[in-house]
Structure 1
Amino acid sequence: MAELQILNLLLVLIAAWVGGMVAKRVGFPPILGELLIGILLGPALLGILETSEALNTLAEVGILFLMAYIGMEINFKDLGKASWAGLLAAIGGFVVPFALGYYTIIIFDGTQIAALFVGIAVGVTSLATKSRILVDLKLLDTRIAYVLMAGALISDTLALVIFAGIIGFVDVGSVDAAGLTWVAGKAILFFAAATLIGIYGFPLLGKLLSKTKTINRTFHFTIMVIIVLAFSELAEIAGLHGILGAFMAGLFIREGVFSRNVLKDVTIVFHDMSIGFLAPIFFVTAGFHVSLEVFQTDLVLLILIIAGAVIGKIVGTALFYLPSGYGWREGITIGTGMNGRGAVEIIIAGIGLQMGIITTEIFSILVFMAISTTLTVPLFLTWTTNWLRKRGELVKQDTRKGYLILGANPLGLYIAKQLKEHHEVVLIDSNKELIHEANEQGVTAIHGNALKEDTFEMANAIDKNTFIALTGNSEINLLATQLANNSFYIPNKIVLMSPDENAAGVNLLDPMDASSLFANKTDMAPWAYKISANEFKENIETVESDSTTREWVKERGKNKDILPILIVDENGHKRPFHFKDNISANEKVIYLE
């Protein structure tokens, strides 16, 4: 029985934390730092850390949990947002690099099974890092963002399906008709059984758990772990790998099957257990198996695999993307965004090494390929999106629509009623009376704490285009805006800042790409009172020449008793008056006095 060496485990976890933190600080995914520090501190260089049977067991459990978490994070609604374009990008971005990787190994006298494994590893796309990069580059409200996310989902799922097909043949030893039929039959039976259990069995379990009020989060987590391990074992019995079972289990552990609170709690725990504890062990120890000798013995193969991965992904995506009608430049941009590899690629390569399908040299090449391609994504995607932006070809996506407004006070309700003429508007507030009043006046309003994700989820924040924080407390406004930005990636954020707010608070707006409401610090209370007492006058002014909102406010700086509320375009559509906006000639400004 393997002895768990506590000191070695502690050092591996510390190394993973340091490597992941450093990588994240410089704008790259933590997995990159975990792999690099494993190479640095492992046998390849310094030899400070070493693997063990106990660590390998923890790492294997880690990848099962990670694959379950990846499955839980996949939202099939996202595939529909750019299904055709995303499918084209996924196929082109997978097939072309797959073929290049496969034939490169064949040319260098590798086996067909090894070539297939390399092809899959080269063809996958990292899903986990996309959202953060898209936020940093302010691309979440563009068509590129939706195509990238859909393409990554389809690409990784396609890779796992092909992986399932290959893994079944590894132990067969022959490819006669009977053997092929048996292997294919077992795989089909597994996917059919997993799908039936997921579609029909999970909802029954979810209903049963919902009726038992005394069950706590620990029990729910235990149930989910049993489900993941059971599906993993089912995959193993079918001659597949356990990661496919874990992935399938994760796909069906979703909202609608289990309650929102249960799903949220379990997802958080799976995230912490996998990404925070067990999966880093896998990625650090994966670095232990890397050999730096490939730079001397297999340098040509290394260069060809990396070049094939990069060129194949970008060119393949661009070529297959042409039928979408969105142009080859956008195709190249999508390709640069899909060029990074991540967890799935390393997991597949690690399984290939463990099963003796690929050599240490090939595994090392795939690790360095994953590292180098991931490093290119921020650089290449920044360059190509700026290229599109300068040409006026960076297309905004209309998938996100409507306003989410924090604050059902009289001022917030007044603005909501104006905006709802042409847009979907949802108000949120912790005051039940204000919520009732808003609903009575025909505005959708939700009661809840704006600093909790549950409230945003009830308001369907993930589909909203603009968040407006409009309470009298600037601190609450800023904290809620951070939640809207970091957890729900709402592209447009507008925040009411009070006159007594210091510069430190205002400086928090820029990192979130947020704008100040009314283009000026404003005390909400007097205006809320005027509206509730009907002691105000609404005015409309037509703007004669182009100007900024800040210039408009400065021109009327002597009159402190006016409040610019909305801008009305020539089509009669209204939008909030805020700092980061321009007013075109013939547009109108609605202001109160």
Structure 2
Amino acid sequence: MAADTAVSAAEHAQHLLLGLFLIFAAAKVMAEVFERLRQPAVIGEILAGVLIGPYVLGWVEPSEITHTLSEIGVILLLFSVGLETKPASIIKVGKTATIVAVLGVVLPFAAGWGLMELYGATNIEGMFVGTAMVATSVGITARVLGGMGMLGATSSRIILGAAVIDDILGLLVLAVVASMAAGSTDFVKIGTTAGLSLGFVAVVALLLAPMLTRHVPRLGAGVRISHAAFAASIVLCLGLAAAASYIGVAAIIGAFLAGMAIAEVSEDNHELHSQIRGVTEFMVPFFLVGIGMQLNLTIFNDMNVVWMAVWVTLIAVVTKVVGCGLGAWSLGLRGAAQVGVGMVPRGEVGIVVAQIGLGMGVISESLFGVVLFMAIATTLIAPPFLRPLFARTGAAD
């Protein structure tokens, strides 16, 4: 019996290592191909997941381990983005970011709900689709802008700030819709979640960041472990990601705020930035390939589902571009377009909303597939437009 268990464990380890190899290698090969085509590498990495996933070549099956690596990958990605973003730069664009976030929630939700009504879906189905269209996956946009060295641009800071607000608003919308689907609406719980979410962001941005800026430089003298700054940064990243998750905010927001909290301290620490970049380059492909692996192409055997997916995706793109673009109109047409397109990707956030609806039994498998297609399609659509829109923009305009 012990021998059989040992053999089973060895085979599991072999399959795991082979899967990790295939994911990482496919991601980097496709990234290279798309870079040579002058397209963002992120598209190639997502399409790598579609190719090697269970619905095309079937080389790798999504599992709990690949999901965990995906979660760690996007947490580290948003942490590294936070390292390039000083709290003061976000506060400066706070008013515009708030307007962008609100319009980027109201318009997609109303349009998604209305479209489902036209298709004859139930009220709850319409609201779940609308909620999935509210989400913004800033990880994809951040990956593209970071690769272009454009995270310091005004429109980039607005996108990042709006994404934080967008996550909180989306969380509240999801809480209301999920409560209605369950048969009641717990306003006390929703209000508590809202208060905790806003309080968490305020404490990190306004209190923790200045405190770390003052005191962290003094800590190095008494620490004997190697790469202490890197270790402390990862501890802070994981700690705030976990805290955000417990409060009810997405873990990636906690990771982003952790990076932002030490942005001032780490600005001149090139070794820390290099170490974070190395870990991020290793982990992020698991996040991007993981998105691609979830796209079930078999749902498109039904032309009604195909057309619904096309309409949902089209409206998801237009409502974010128009809503968020109007919110950033003070930047001019080009700046408004940058913000609008930057807020388009739904990525893993939209997928999570759809999974909740499916788990509660309030949306069908086909509607889940439609939302999944929309989440991945919007993630693929935005990057090719971001590059030309930011091509002639200064890094810190």
> Normalising TM by the smaller chain, what interval?
0.7 to 0.9
Partners of 1:246 and 1:490 in 2: how far apart? 23
**Structure 2 residue aligned with 1:269:** 275
The aligned residue for residue 75 of structure 1 is: 86
Structure with the bigger percentage of strand: 1
One-letter identity of the residue aligned with 1:250: G
| Secondary structure of residue in 2 paired with 1:28 | coil
Question: Which amino acid counterpart does residue 301 of structure 1 have in structure 2?
Answer: M
Residue number among 107, 114, 119 corresponding to 2:134 in the alignment:
119
Matches of 1:41 and 1:124, distance apart in 2: 22
5 Å-filtered alignment, 1:465-544, equals: 489=395
Counting only pairs closer than 5 Å after superposition, residues 443-482 of structure 1 correspond to structure 2 as none
CA displacement 1:286-339 (0-9 Å, x = unmatched): 2111022344432222221232234334444565566x4x7xxx43x3454345
Of 34, 52, 71, the match for 1:41: 52
Residue in 1 that maps onto 2:172: 165
Q: Deviations over 1:543-565 (max 9, x none)?
A: xxxxxxxxxxxxxxxxxxxxxxx
Equivalent position amino acid for 1:50 in 2: E
SS at match of 1:51: coil
Q: Aligned pair in 2 of structure 1 residues 311, 128: CA closer, same or farther (>3 Å)?
A: same
The equivalences for 1:119-158 within 5 A come to 119-121=134-136, 126-130=141-145, 146=153, 148-158=155-165
Cα pair 1:90 1:155 within 8 Å, conserved? yes
8 A contact 1:339–1:377 mirrored in 2: no
Q: Unaligned 5+ residue runs, structure 2?
A: 1-7
Q: Describe the shift of the 1:245–1:254 C-alpha distance in structure 2 as closer, same or farther (beyond 3 A).
A: same
Q: Does the aligned pair in 2 maintain the 1:96–1:312 contact within 8 Å?
A: yes
Q: Secondary structure at the match of 2:60?
A: coil
CA distance in 2, matches of 1:38, 1:126: 18
Question: SS where residue 135 of structure 2 aligns?
Answer: helix
Per the TM alignment, residue 121 of structure 1 is displaced from its structure 2 partner at its CA by: 4.2
Aligned pair in 2 of structure 1 residues 68, 164: CA closer, same or farther (>3 Å)? farther
* Distance apart, 1:378 and its partner CA: 4.6
Query: Could you list the per-position Cα deviations for residues 465-508 of structure 1 after superposition, in whole angstroms to 9, with x for gaps in the alignment?
Result: xxxxxxxxxxxxxxxxxxxxxxxx589xxxxxxxxxxxxxxxxx
Alignment root-mean-square deviation, CA: 4.0
Contact 2:317 2:378 in 1 (8 A): no
2:236 maps to which residue?
227
**Match of residue 563 from structure 1:** none
Amino acid paired to 2:278: D
- Stretches of structure 1 lacking an aligned partner (at least 5 in a row): 386-393, 401-488, 492-593
Q: Secondary structure of 1:126's partner?
A: helix
Corresponding residue of 1:349: 350
Kept in 1: contact 2:140–2:379 (CA 8 A): no
The match for 2:375 is 366
Structure 2 contact 74–287 (Cα < 8 Å) conserved: yes
The answer to which structure has the higher helix fraction is 2
Taking the aligned partners of 1:181 and 1:54, their CA distance within structure 2 comes to: 36
**Cα distance in structure 2, aligned partners of 1:335 and 1:57:** 35
Please say which of residues 125-134 and 42-51 is displaced more in the overlay.
125-134
**In structure 1, C-alpha distance between the alignment counterparts of 2:112 and 2:375, rounded to whole Å:** 10
On the 8 A contact 2:135/2:170 being kept in 1, the answer is yes
Aligned positions, number: 369
1:50 aligns to 2:61 (yes or no): yes
> What is the identity, as a one-letter code, of the residue corresponding to 1:16?
A
Once residues 310 and 320 of structure 2 are traced to their aligned partners in structure 1, the CA distance between those partners, rounded to angstroms, is 15
Taking structure 1 as reference, are residues 87 and 134 closer, same or farther at Cα in structure 2, changes over 3 Å only? farther
Distance 1:168 1:99 in 2: 17
1:287 equivalent in alignment to 2:292: yes
Counterpart of 1:218 in structure 2 is: 227
Could you say which structure has the larger radius of gyration? 1
Deviation at 1:36, TM superposition (A): 0.7
1:309 matches 2:310: no
Higher relative contact order (CA 8 A, sep 6+): 2
Contact 1:167–1:240 (8 Å) recurs in 2: no
Question: TM-score, normalized by length of structure 2?
Answer: 0.75
Give 1:245's aligned residue: 254
